[in-house]
Structure 1
Amino acid sequence: MLFATHLVAAVLLGRRWTLSPAWLVAGAALPDVVDKPLAMVGLVDLYHTVGHSALLVVLAVPAAVAGRRGLAVAVGWASHLALDAFHVAINGRPEDAVFLVWPLVTPATPLKLPPGDFFVYYLWTPSFFVEIGIWVAVGAAAVRAWRRGRE
């Protein structure tokens, strides 16, 4: 999934679960904020490593029980991982969802594309069309909210 879609999904979760959208967005951004720079400077070979590992649940659970802000960060982070796993599965690479248990297992044929190249690769994939649907729904909801505000 694209970075912006993770953030929008976090805001939608906030509306559904009455959690702080700002803290949900922070949690949803966390995997990419951690992993993309690590890969871009060459510290790791993949763009889904530390921040995308479900093994970080050992940090997420204490954060979640620490209070509503910690819960929001943990839910945002978990939503990012779930959307990325869904993304690789719907695009025909379900075996690549093993990024969730990095460093124990790494995908056999991982995409090692930097973000810009990934976007070009991503165009016209099944997941791309799912994202278009998400953004159309968000746009429709925004228009409805705007119209209600004008009444």
Structure 2
Amino acid sequence: MLFATHLLAAGLLARRFRASVAWAVVGAALPDLVDKPLASLGIVDLFHSVGHSALLAVVVVPAALLGRAGVAAAVGWASHLLFDAVHVVLNGRAGGALFLVWPLAIPLDPLAIPPGAFFVYYLWSPSFFVEVAIWTGAAAFAVRAWRDRAEAA
């Protein structure tokens, strides 16, 4: 899933559950903000590693106990992992979801391409159309909310 869609999805989830949108977006950004630089610098071989591992829950869950901001950030982080797992499965690479237990298991066919090349690879894939639907729904929701506010004024 593309970075901006992770942020949008986390923001929508936060609004739906009346959580902090800002903290949910921060949480959703963290996996990529950790993993993309690590892989780009050659520290790890995969673009889904440390930040995308569900094993990081040993840090995220205690952070969630710090209050509503921590819960929102944890939800954003968890949504990022969930949506990336769904993305690889939809695109026919179910084994790619092993990133969730990195470093205990490593995907057999990792897509080890940098973000720019990934975007080109991703266009027209099955999950790309799911993202288009998410953005279309979000735009329709925003237009409706704007119209409702305009009518109420």
Q: TM-score range by the shorter chain?
A: over 0.9
Gaps of at least 5 residues in structure 2 are: none
% identity of equivalent residues: 67
SS of equivalent to 1:66? coil
Match of 2:83 in 1: 83
Match of 1:30 in 2: 30
Read off the aligned partner of 2:84 and give its amino acid letter: D
TM-superposed deviation, 1:12: 0.6
Mapped to 2, the partners of 1:14 and 1:71 lie a distance apart of: 10
Read off the aligned partner of 1:5 and give its amino acid letter: T
TM-superposed deviation, 1:67: 0.6
| Correspondence 1:126 to 2:126 | yes
TM-superposed deviation, 1:134: 0.2
TM-superposed deviation, 1:121: 0.3
Mapped to 1, the partners of 2:146 and 2:77 lie a distance apart of: 29
Q: Deviations for 1:59-95, whole angstroms, at most 9, x for unmatched residues?
A: 1111111211111111100000000000000100111
**For this pair of structures, how many residues does the alignment match?**
151
SS of equivalent to 1:26? helix
Q: Deviations for 1:19-61, whole angstroms, at most 9, x for unmatched residues?
A: 1000000000000000001111111111000000000010111
Match of 2:103 in 1: 103
SS of equivalent to 1:136? helix
Q: With structure 2 as the length reference, what TM-score do the two structures score?
A: 0.97
Match of 1:71 in 2: 71
Q: With structure 1 as the length reference, what TM-score do the two structures score?
A: 0.98
Match of 1:56 in 2: 56
Gaps of at least 5 residues in structure 1 are: none
Match of 1:140 in 2: 140
